[in-house]
Structure 1
Amino acid sequence: MNTEIFKEPINQLHWRVLKTVTLILGLLPVQEVYVQLWKISQESSQIIFGFFAVSLFYSWLSIGFICALQMSHMSLSLARSDVEQRLIQYYKQVPMLFFVLLVAYIGSNYIWEF
């Protein structure tokens, strides 16, 4: 079923935004698993475990940030009017907004547990 509701570049923009937001929201379960494993690990293995877990989490965090940054600087000029152009600009900022909110949530909830 082929529908012509959206133009192809707008459709691609929408799917890129959804993929980026999904990647960023994937940080939340990773952080929860990290905290649970940290709590059940023995004191002698927490240094090694902490190194690998923090490295994995921050690499995922960096990838999420880079993807959100690429989305916010993606050039797309399909809008016919100024209002459409502004809507597309705001929509491209959604992944960065999710990233900032998730990092703030993780920071506020888990900073006091360590």
Structure 2
Amino acid sequence: MKALGLSDEINQFHWTMLKSVLLILSLLPASHFFLNLWQSTHAASQIVVGFLALSMFSALAILSFYSALNATVLNLKYEFSSLLEQQIVRVYGYVPMLFLMAMMSYLATCL
């Protein structure tokens, strides 16, 4: 689906950004789910549940970082009409990485 006034490449870039941010947003409910699961288990099985939760959360964090990094270094072959438009798209490319940084900072201070 092509947005009004945007080329297919810019539209694809926008959807890449949205997918990356949604993947990063999934870190918050996952962390709360794993924390609640770990706290509700008995002491004997907390080590196993904690290891599983840490492994799954680490995998999700790595996928989020990879997605944000891909969105950041994505090169567009689109010819921009102005320098301002080019700068806006370049800054927009850093949004997922900034969002990941904010989410990780929030999780590190609150949990």
**TM-score interval, normalised by the smaller of the two chains:** over 0.9
Contact 1:38–1:49 (CA under 8 A) maintained in structure 2: yes
Contact 2:17–2:93 (CA under 8 A) maintained in structure 1: yes
| Structure 2 residues without counterparts, runs of 5 or longer | none
Alpha-carbon distance in structure 2 between the residues aligned to 1:31 and 1:83 = 39
| SS across alignment from 2:44 | helix
Question: What residue is the counterpart of 1:86 in the other structure?
Answer: 87
| SS across alignment from 1:44 | coil
Alpha-carbon distance in structure 2 between the residues aligned to 1:31 and 1:22 = 15
Change (3 A) 1:45 1:7: same
Alpha-carbon distance in structure 2 between the residues aligned to 1:29 and 1:100 = 17
- C-alpha offsets along residues 48-95 of structure 1, whole Å, 9 cap, x if unaligned? 011111000000000000110011000014222211111001101111
Change (3 A) 1:3 1:49: closer
The amino acid that maps onto 2:88 is: L
* Aligned pairs for 1:1-114 within 5 A: 4-78=4-78, 79-110=80-111
How many residues in Structure 1 have an aligned counterpart in Structure 2?
110
TM-score normalised by structure 2 residue count: 0.93
Contact 1:72–1:92 (CA under 8 A) maintained in structure 2: yes
TM-score normalised by structure 1 residue count: 0.91
Question: What fraction of aligned residue pairs are identical, expressed as a percent?
Answer: 35
RMSD: 1.4
| Structure 1 residues without counterparts, runs of 5 or longer | none
